[in-house]
Amino acid sequence: MTQNITTDRILILDFGSQYSQLIARRVREAGVYSEMYAYDASDDEIRAFAPKGIILSGGPESVYADNSPKIPQAVFELGVPLLGICYGFQAMTAQLGGVVEAGDVKEFGYAKIDISQADKLLANMADEHNQSQVWMSHGDKVTKLADGFSVTSSTPSCPYASASDESRHFYGVQFHPEVTHTDKGETLISNFVHSICGCGSLWNSENIIELRIKQLQEQIGNSEVLLGLSGGVDSSVVAALLHRAIGDKLTCVFVDNGLLRLNEGDQVMQMFAENMGIRVIRADAENRFLTALAGVTDPEAKRKIIGREFIEVFSEEARKLDGIKFLAQGTIYPDVIESAKSKQGKAHVIKSHHNVGGLPDDLAFELVEPLRDLFKDEVRKLGVALGIPYHMIYRHPFPGPGLGVRILGEVKKEYADILRVADDIFMQELRASGWYDKTAQAFAVFQPVKSVGVVGDGRRYAWVIALRAVETVDFMTARFAHLPYDLVDKISTRIMNEITDVSRVVYDVSSKPPATIEWE
Ligand code: XMP
């Protein structure tokens, strides 16, 4: 069987489980391209995707509830292997003539499956007792298999922990192979995509770069492309990728809004313009942003002003350029999934994180989005493979409005200058102590209040700096990082000694929820 990076692909149908995205990531980690569609994708969409296998995700519903999500008919008719996970297994069973019932008890947590028949799916999963540790999370369970299926593993409370109909290549598991709590989850996913679906392990940085460059060259031809470069991971990777694909047909505009970290503007120019030879126009717009922000204290109003000014400055620079046909953007796959969900009205906005609205009508460019189908970890690996320094790629996230939301209340240059130095000291010490990589995000926050201190024989009446460091995986919830007191001591002493305008440093001990990560 010939293997091909563009045709070896797995479709994941999402029935609403919190783990659905993880399935897509695990399949990609196994070296196979995958995409996630909503369970009610049309038969035509499913056929057009031309998957070599389909995975049906878990979901919160019960198959017998009114209007419960159904597996589209095309899924059974395509003739490709199927793997149903949890709800996916139950729905498959019910639709193929088996029986699913409400369990007496909900099963949630670790379980050991007894493997009675190591079919292709469970190959190499069993330990010396023919068992394997898995993660369960379900209420309903399959109580009678559909015709053609036979049981392959069970637990004391779940007679059909997994089952298969190998003649049709239909497989089902009640447990969740995509979560790390399932010991051999990776093996199961790999068994499915490789030995059952016949996909090769082709989805890796080197091949993705080669494929993307070819696609970009085809899409762009000899035209000119414009990119808004922020110095963040996504736009940096887009810049490096486009530069490889189309060389000097790429022009980047870097808007320095005066709310960046210490020396960040110079570093971006050094990295992209000097080291990589990319054409970057730096728009120094500090005064303009600060003027627009003068007197404004409301966080949402500040975000909107920063977003609006960005668009204006960027548009002015774009209008100075001739012959641009395309606008490149660093949209990544989770953005695509999230915006599809919010269109269904499921999102609840706590802070407006949409930094950039659309460009004005006179700048009607076609879009180039070379990262649109990639997860963040894939984008990072691509960045490293493209030669962007590791420390830029594995940097903590930095919000679009920058220090604008880390200076509480009104933003002033004096405050931003103090905050930049304090933040830099904090980062230096986190890196030196090895804590930078143990925290997901850390930064200093400027408090526009004065506090009394004493220096030598004198009294100091100066500003307060708060330090914030959090541990989190998804940024939806976060725990304040338990930094060692000695480290906090060293950081606060340095900040107060090295910045005469700071008289006090405090450490933020709030977790999210109820606090958010940023202070505004
Ligand atoms: P919160 O403060 O909501 O932050 O707990 C969660 C994550 O989002 C980042 N954040 C932003 N990012 N524009 C951005 O691009 C924004 O306006 C914004 N506000 C918060 C924050 O840094 C954290 O990583």
Residue 383 marked ligand-binding: no
Q: Whose CA is nearest to atom 24 of ligand 1?
A: 397
**101 counts as catalytic:** no
| Closest ligand 1 atom to Cα of 518 | 2
CA distance linking residue 198 with residue 129, whole number of Å: 29
Give residue 334 CA to ligand 1 midpoint distance, Å: 15
Angle, alpha carbons 391-394-400 (nearest 5°): 105
For residue 356, the model assigns a pLDDT of: 66
Q: Whose CA is nearest to atom 10 of ligand 1?
A: 399
Q: Whose CA is nearest to atom 22 of ligand 1?
A: 399
Q: Whose CA is nearest to atom 8 of ligand 1?
A: 399
Residue 234 marked ligand-binding: yes
Of the residues 178, 309, 317, 378, which is catalytic? 178
pLDDT in tens, the chain (520 residues): 578 999 999 999 999 998 999 999 999 999 999 999 999 999 999 999 999 999 999 999 999 898 999 999 999 999 999 999 999 999 999 999 999 998 777 888 999 999 999 899 999 999 999 999 999 988 899 999 999 999 999 999 899 999 999 999 999 999 999 999 999 999 999 999 999 999 999 999 999 999 999 999 999 999 999 999 999 999 999 999 999 999 999 999 999 999 999 999 999 999 999 999 999 999 999 999 999 999 999 999 999 999 999 999 999 999 999 999 999 999 999 888 877 766 554 445 566 666 667 899 999 999 999 999 999 999 999 999 999 999 999 999 999 999 999 999 999 999 999 999 999 999 999 999 999 999 999 999 999 999 999 988 899 999 999 999 999 988 999 999 999 999 999 999 999 999 999 999 999 999 999 999 999 9
CA distance linking residue 471 with residue 428, whole number of Å: 18
Give residue 85 CA to ligand 1 midpoint distance, Å: 33
Residue 137 marked ligand-binding: no
Q: Whose CA is nearest to atom 9 of ligand 1?
A: 399
| Closest ligand 1 atom to Cα of 398 | 22
Give residue 128 CA to ligand 1 midpoint distance, Å: 48
For residue 130, the model assigns a pLDDT of: 97
Amino acid type, 464: V
Give residue 374 CA to ligand 1 midpoint distance, Å: 21
| Closest ligand 1 atom to Cα of 355 | 13
For residue 421, the model assigns a pLDDT of: 98
CA distance linking residue 356 with residue 304, whole number of Å: 9
What SS3 string covers 323-358?
CEEEEECCCCHHHHHHHHHHHCCCCCCCCCCCCCCC
Angle, alpha carbons 24-27-28 (nearest 5°): 85
Q: Is 68 exposed, middle or buried (CB count within 10 Å of its CB: 0-12, 13-18, 19+)?
A: middle
> Residues near ligand 1 with C-beta < 6 Å?
303, 351, 353, 355, 397, 399-401, 405, 441, 475, 512, 516-518
CA quadruple 64, 68, 74, 78: dihedral sign: negative
CA distance linking residue 396 with residue 235, whole number of Å: 15
| Closest ligand 1 atom to Cα of 441 | 24
CA quadruple 134, 138, 144, 148: dihedral sign: negative
Q: Is 486 exposed, middle or buried (CB count within 10 Å of its CB: 0-12, 13-18, 19+)?
A: exposed
Choice from 259, 335, 351, 405 to test ligand 1 binding pocket (greatest atom count within 8 A of CB):
351
Tokens 């036979």 identify what position?
150
**327-385 pLDDT tens trace:** 999 999 988 887 776 655 444 556 666 666 789 999 999 999 999 999 999 999 999 99
For residue 346, the model assigns a pLDDT of: 45
**416-441 pLDDT tens trace:** 999 999 999 999 999 999 999 999 99
**86 counts as catalytic:** yes
Tokens 């960027």 identify what position?
314
**16-73 pLDDT tens trace:** 998 999 999 999 999 999 999 999 999 999 999 999 999 999 999 999 898 999 999 9
Question: 280, 273 in Cβ contact below 8 A?
Answer: yes
Residue 233 marked ligand-binding: yes
Give residue 405 CA to ligand 1 midpoint distance, Å: 9
Give residue 478 CA to ligand 1 midpoint distance, Å: 12
CA distance linking residue 184 with residue 158, whole number of Å: 19
Q: Helix, strand or coil for residue 274? A: helix
| Closest ligand 1 atom to Cα of 397 | 24
**178 counts as catalytic:** yes
